[in-house]
Copies of this chain bind each other. A is one copy, B any other.
Amino acid sequence: MLKIGIMGASGYAGEELLRILLDHPEVQITAVAAKIDPVNICKLYPWLKGRLDLECRDMSAEEMSKKCDMVFLALPHKASMQFAPIFLKKGLKVIDLSADFRIKDVNVYEKWYELKHECPEYIKDAVYGLPEFYRKEVKKADLIANPGCYPTSVILGCAPLLKKNLVDPDSIISDSKSGVSGAGRVLAQALMSKELENSFKPYKVNAHRHMPEIDQEIALMAGSKVSVNFVPHLVPMERGMMSTIYLQLKKNISTSEALKLYKDFYSKEYFVRVMDEGIFPDTKNVVRTNFCDIGCKVFPEKSLVIVVTAIDNLVKGASGQAVQNMNIMYGFEEKLGLN
């Protein structure tokens, strides 16, 4: 049994990791930490009563490293960069759910996150943990930069067309929508239940921190610098994320050709499901799963292709993908614990 530590167990991603790993047959959760007064994890999450008996408290990386074989950092950015190096030096593998090691260009990172990176030397070897594209690298990695939820939904949606050079990467518009858990367990007036009654709204219009991450990966696929238009919206539901992506075709293809391209491209990917013609994703079909559903339709008169992707922001968009990465790193079956 692989012994697992979770830093940031009091946040939504941490809670989701607990939910997934609790039933994973190859691992045992042996340490949970959070910046809170010591409390049994069952007090924090009453749904765990009778299922897990651990104290959750503030813990140094040194202490946690003695209790486990690998750690998940379900921490906000900036916190992760303080812990990751210590674990790595102690020989533990680290899967970091924050943004701290995702952006290869440290200047870009520092500009968007408005702080100085404390250990930029670790960025180079961190693997961007999108298994559909970096499986080989994940297998050998010691440090995984687990992708953001929006980037996962956008990159999986654009990749087949980009890799075949069928679309103008500069034309990409992603109109994205997220359930409220995407904001994390933050005490904010705007996330109070009453405030969300009949409330649908955009936020950080073309100014969201996931943009440089999307641009980086899209550019790698397109082979040129790219800046994507990205408008996220908040949906008054617990979880689920959809990206409706508009791309300009370089040459016209039919909807069925486009769908065939997607099906071929993802034919070996268990967690990516391409819909049949005329069918589009619905977030409810992916919530609490690690699947990414994709549908698309071409409008020949406009040389426009519309791609729609759906994921659960907390699973394929965070903790599920993190476990998928762990499975790959340790040679477990990739979908173990994820059904």
A residues adjacent to B (C-beta < 8 A): 12, 22-23, 46-47, 49-51, 170, 173, 175, 177, 179-181, 185, 187-189, 191-203, 205-206, 227, 229, 231, 233, 235-240, 242, 244, 246, 270, 273, 279-289, 291, 293, 297, 299, 301-302, 304, 306, 308, 310, 339
Contacts and interface: CB of A to CB of B under 8 A. Distances in A.
A205 B237 contact: no
Contacts of A286: 47
Given A46-B285, A242-B201, A23 B339 contact: yes
Contact of A197 (B188, B203, B284): B284
Contacts of A181: 194
Given A192-B193, A199-B284, A236-B237, 18 more contacts: A12-B194, A22-B339, A50-B273, A173-B173, A181-B194, A185-B194, A187-B187, A197-B238, A198-B284, A199-B240, A200-B237, A201-B280, A201-B281, A201-B282, A231-B244, A231-B306, A233-B242, A288-B288
Given A189-B185, A193-B238, A229-B304, A177 B205 contact: no
A231 B12 CA distance: 30
A299 to B, nearest CB: 6
B195 A180 contact: no
Give the interface centre of A185, A205, A281, A297 by most chain B CB atoms within 10 Å.
A205
Contacts of A185: 189, 192, 194
B237 A198 contact: yes
Nearest to A171: B302
Given A47-B289, A237-B199, A240-B200, A229 B282 contact: no
A198 B297 contact: no
A266 B149 CA distance: 38
A201 B270 CA distance: 22
A218 to B, nearest CB: 14
B273 A242 contact: no
Given A49-B273, A244-B202, A280-B202, A194 B238 contact: yes
A198 B177 CA distance: 12
B205 A193 contact: no
Given A187-B192, A193-B192, A46 B202 contact: no
Contacts of A196: 193, 284
A206 B308 CA distance: 13
Nearest to A206: B299
Contacts of A227: 301-302
Contact of A193 (B23, B236, B284): B236
Nearest to A175: B175
Contact of A240 (B12, B198, B202): B198
Nearest to A202: B280
Nearest to A195: B284
Contacts of A195: 193, 284
Contacts of A50: 270, 273, 291
Nearest to A235: B200
A290 to B, nearest CB: 12
26 contacts: A46-B285, A46-B293, A47-B289, A173-B246, A173-B304, A177-B200, A179-B198, A185-B192, A187-B187, A187-B188, A187-B189, A192-B192, A193-B196, A195-B284, A198-B240, A198-B284, A201-B242, A201-B284, A202-B244, A202-B280, A205-B308, A229-B302, A231-B244, A233-B244, A235-B235, A236-B236
